[in-house]
Every structure is written in structure tokens, then in C-alpha cells.
A and B are shown apart, each in its own frame.
Chain A
Amino acid sequence: MGDLVIRDLCQGFRRDDGSILTAIEHLDLVIHEEELVCVLGPSGCGKTTLLRMIAGLDTATCGEIELDGEQITGPNPKIGIVFQEYSLFPWRTVIDNVAFGLEMRGIPREERTRTAGHFLELVGLAQFRGSYPSELSGGMRQRVAVARALALDPVVLLMDEPFGALDAQTRNMLQHELLMIWEKTRKTIVFITHSVDEAVFLADRIIVLTPRPGRVCETISIDMPRPRDRTGAGFAKFRRYVLDLINQPKCESPDKV
């Protein structure tokens, strides 16, 4: 129950010359409730494509995705997403951005502002409620985006390299924050990254994808207690393991298109 089940998923895009570009091919994956899974793969291997199908924004060319035994056919209130690029509405203040989903649900202003304020506090930005996104740094914008997705209380939170554009320091801080939020809210989190370090630090499980067309190459359980020490021996061991795996022939592209 509560699992996200992906069966035999494919996705292709039609190129301009009419040929088909296969982004994802026969991908199988089960993600359990309250699990924090990192999907790791090189740029262009289809990570965003996969996430968009889970989100219901794109339809797969074959296969299916189920959440709680229900097939996903379109955007679904049980699924929240934080995009790779900045996606806050620039014409709304921070608090109104976070409250947007609640507003769409018809929740009265006072109540939704209260809820939104609570989630802003959770990401540590309560004092910026009246600011516009253009007044925030990149890291702050992504935190607001996290709060905005959480405000609707989804079962699954999809995160597409949310910290990819940030400097190492901010990134580390936000990773800590994310773990704290995850422990508090117990969401299922599917976190996409191409940083091995980030994946080892965050994940219960790392799903390593092959280069395009993306398939699951291997799944690695990171059974290390949290908080994890990036400089520790256990961390180094996992990191080396994952790095070796990425360079193995079986996780490399089968056909270099």
C-alpha cells in the first residue's frame, strides 16, 4: 500500500526528421511509502522525462505507473513536484505562492495563509512571506518551491535536481533541511540528482540509471544511519561503490546514439 509502482515504462520523442528518440526504455521500479529514493544518472539519460511521467504531465508511450494501486493519468493531488528550474510565480508574493494550491482547492484565505505560513516556517523563510520571488536567492526560491509543494500534503514529493544550480555550501545546507523536513512529514520522496555525493547523503536507496535510453542499471540500499558524515569511512565506501558502478560497462550506454 502507498507504493509507487512503475512497470515496463517507455518514452519516446519524435525528432524533427521523423525518427523516434527513445528517452526511456522498459524501466521497472518500485518505490515504497515514506522512502527517500535518489535517482542517479548522467545528463540526458531521461531523469526529467521519468519524473514528468510520474507527475502525470506526460503520457508514457508504453507501460504504466501506479500510486496506491491507482493508475496515474494526469496531474494528481497526491503528487507534488519541485522542478529543476525556477517555477515560482513571479507575480505572487512568497506566501501567495505557497498558498496557491490551497487557493485552487477553495480553502478560505485566512486558513490557507495560516497553513502556508506554517510551511514557510518549516523551510525557514517565514520572514520573507511578503517578498516577491525576484527578491530571493536561488536557494531560497527552491525552498519556497518545496513549501509550495508540501502545502498540499501530497503522498509523494518529486524533486528534479532541485539543488543542481546552487553552490556547494547552500546545497549541503538544503540537503540537511530536506532530511529534517522528510523526517517531520514522512513523505515518499523521489529525488533526482547527478551528484553521487548528494545521493549517498540523502537516500535510503539509490537507483542508478543507464545513459539514454534510460533503464534501471542497479539499485543500492544505503543502510547508513543518519545524520551521515560526508567525510566518514562508511560514506566513502558507498561513494566509491556507486562511482565504480557508474563506470562499469553494464551501466554504460548499450548503443551510443
Chain B
Amino acid sequence: MNRNGGKRSERWLGGAAILAVLVFWQAVAAFVVRDSFILPSPVDVAVSFVSLLENGSLPMDFATSILHFAIGLGAALLIGIPVGIVMGWNRRIDALLDPVIEILRPIPPLAWIPFAIVWFGLTNASAGFVIFVGSVFPVLINTYTGFRSVPRIFVEAGKMLGCIKDRDLIRYIAFPSALPSVAAGIRIATGVGWMCLVAAELFGVSKFGLGQKLWFFYNLHQMDAVVVYMILLGLIGLGFDMVFRYWIERQFLKWRMGEVA
């Protein structure tokens, strides 16, 4: 992966590769497969995209999926960060909660779908819950690790400067020190949560949603529309990640550079 965007000539290379893939795809679809159910061609997909723009429900799908995602990620932050903080700060709470978390963590998020339905019914909250299960652990673990690795010297310097109470030490010393790690956890959670989205919408919690429509069009055997939703899901996921990376770099590059050296 090229993090800095690369030189201009190198970016051309990437663009050329995408173009080549599209041409190859079109050729295979049009001359080899010749069945738009098995493999819709890029042109089919483009036509389908335009008709979806005109008659479809793309904005509603987008909004609904963002709602599910926001519920899941929001709950993950609301629970993952505080739990990560107390576990990272207090060894007893760590010892208390760690086994529970270690047992829950390896359960695949999608295995929670039956309980999502039992507990929340076919609601937006139900889809949010599946996304929450996927994204809470990266947030929690990274917050925990960040707090665990706060250099002792910062805490002691803080105490000598009148920052004594646990609450103040967490707020003014440990949290800022751990923030890069917390942010990295949120970024991972964003990725995982987005991946859970399609499955979370699969079981019919809403009439709209990018994942919901993907299944909807699959059932109609409109594979060109399925590809449209696939590409949208990929691009939006990429967009999240890019925005997030940009934000992280702006926030932390200033003070982290040279810190390791």
C-alpha cells in the first residue's frame, strides 16, 4: 500500500491497472461468460447504477446503513473506551474482567445474530448490535493497551506538578498519552464494523440499507445491481478509512514524530 499517494507517475500506474481490470472484466463478461447472471459486465453495472440512481433508493440505503453503523460504533466507543480505561488503569479490575473478555472476544460477531434478533427484534438496534460486537473489542483492547503503556515518568511528572487524583491523572496524563493507540483501535473497529454491516442487514431488520439491498437484488437475481452495492460498500469503507487516517495523522503526527527515536 502506498501511504503517501506516491509520485505522479506511480499514481498513473495504479489508474492504468484499474482500467486494465475493467477492460479485462468487460472482455471476459462479453465474450467468454456471456451470461450477466454469472458475471455482469462493467457496462451492465454502470447501466444498473444509473437506473438505481434514477429509480432506486440509494440515498435511503446509504442513510439506513450509516444509522446501523453509527449505532454499532457509537455503542462500541461508549462501552469499549471506558472499560478499556478502567482495565488499563486498575490491575484488580483488569484481573476481574480479563477472563470474561478473553472468552467473549473470539466468538465471531455473526454468531450473535440469533441473540440480536431475540433481544432487539427486527430493528435498527438489532443490526447495530451485531456491528457493536464486531467493533467493541478492537476499541477496548487498544484503549487498554494504550493505558497500560503510559510511561511511568509521565505519571510521576504529573504528580509532581499537582496532578494527583486518579481522575485527573487519567484525564490529563494517561488519556492523552494513550490517545494514538485509542485512535488506532477506533480505526480498526471502523473497518471490522463495516464488514459486519452486510450480515447485520441480511436478516431483514429494515427495508433499506446497502447490505439489505444487496440481498434483495440477489433474490431478484439482478446481479448487476448486486455488484453496484458491492462496489458502494467497498468505496464507502475506503472513504471512512481515508478520512480517519487523515484525521489521525493530523492529530498525532506533530507530537509523535521523532518520539520513538
- B257 and A134 form a contact (CB under 8 A): yes
- B160 and A104 form a contact (CB under 8 A): no
- B255 and A104 form a contact (CB under 8 A): no
Query: Residue-by-residue, is B122-163 near A (CB-CB < 8 Å gives 1, otherwise 0)?
Result: 000000000000000000000000000000011011111111
Taking a contact as CB atoms closer than 8 A, the residue among A83, A92, A132, A152 that contacts B153 in the complex is A83
Chain A residue numbers with a CB within 8 Å of B82 are none
A134-B255, A134-B258, A134-B259 are known contacts. Are A89 and B173 too (CB-CB below 8 A)? yes
B256 within 8 A of A: yes
Query: Residue-by-residue, is A138-150 near B (CB-CB < 8 Å gives 1, otherwise 0)?
Result: 0000000000110
B254 within 8 A of A: yes
Query: Complex Cα distance A91/B157, Å?
Result: 14
Chain B residue numbers with a CB within 8 Å of A105 are 162
B183 to chain A, nearest CB (A): 12
B179 within 8 A of A: yes
Chain A residue numbers with a CB within 8 Å of B23 are none
A206 to chain B, nearest CB (A): 25
- B173 and A104 form a contact (CB under 8 A): no
B247 to chain A, nearest CB (A): 16
B249 within 8 A of A: no
Query: Complex Cα distance A77/B168, Å?
Result: 16
Query: Residue-by-residue, is B153-191 near A (CB-CB < 8 Å gives 1, otherwise 0)?
Result: 110111111111000100011001101000000000000
Query: Residue-by-residue, is B240-258 near A (CB-CB < 8 Å gives 1, otherwise 0)?
Result: 0000000000000011111
A-B contact count (CB 8 A): 65
Query: Complex Cα distance A89/B171, Å?
Result: 13
How many residues in A have their beta carbons less than 8 Å from beta carbons of B?
29
- A91 and B160 form a contact (CB under 8 A): no
Q: Which of A69-89 contact B (CB under 8 A)?
A: 74-75, 77, 79-81, 83, 85-89
A81 to chain B, nearest CB (A): 5
- B161 and A101 form a contact (CB under 8 A): yes
Query: Complex Cα distance A91/B158, Å?
Result: 13
- A87 and B154 form a contact (CB under 8 A): yes
Query: Complex Cα distance A22/B161, Å?
Result: 29
Chain B residue numbers with a CB within 8 Å of A88 are 157
A133 within 8 A of B: yes
- B176 and A89 form a contact (CB under 8 A): yes
B219 to chain A, nearest CB (A): 51
- B255 and A87 form a contact (CB under 8 A): no
Chain A residue numbers with a CB within 8 Å of B154 are 87, 89
Chain B residue numbers with a CB within 8 Å of A163 are none
B244 to chain A, nearest CB (A): 19
- B176 and A91 form a contact (CB under 8 A): yes
Chain A residue numbers with a CB within 8 Å of B162 are 75, 77, 101, 104-105, 152
- B168 and A57 form a contact (CB under 8 A): no
A191 within 8 A of B: no
Question: Which residue on B lies nearest to A100, using beta carbons?
Answer: B161
Query: Complex Cα distance A92/B163, Å?
Result: 15
Chain B residue numbers with a CB within 8 Å of A132 are 254-255
- A152 and B256 form a contact (CB under 8 A): no
Q: Which of B168, B172, B255 gathers most chain A CB within 10 Å?
A: B255
Q: Which of A75, A133, A149 gathers most chain B CB within 10 Å?
A: A75
- A75 and B259 form a contact (CB under 8 A): no
A-B contact pairs, 8 of them (CB 8 A): A87-B154, A89-B173, A103-B172, A105-B162, A132-B254, A134-B256, A152-B161, A152-B162
Interface residues of A (CB under 8 A from B): 55, 57, 74-75, 77, 79-81, 83, 85-92, 100-101, 103-105, 132-135, 148-149, 152
Interface residues of B (CB under 8 A from A): 153-154, 156-164, 168, 172-173, 176-177, 179, 254-259
List 20 additional A-B contacts (Cβ < 8 Å) besides A79-B160, A81-B160, A134-B259.
A57-B159, A75-B159, A80-B160, A83-B153, A89-B154, A89-B157, A89-B173, A89-B176, A89-B177, A90-B259, A91-B176, A91-B255, A104-B168, A105-B162, A133-B255, A134-B254, A135-B258, A149-B160, A152-B161, A152-B162
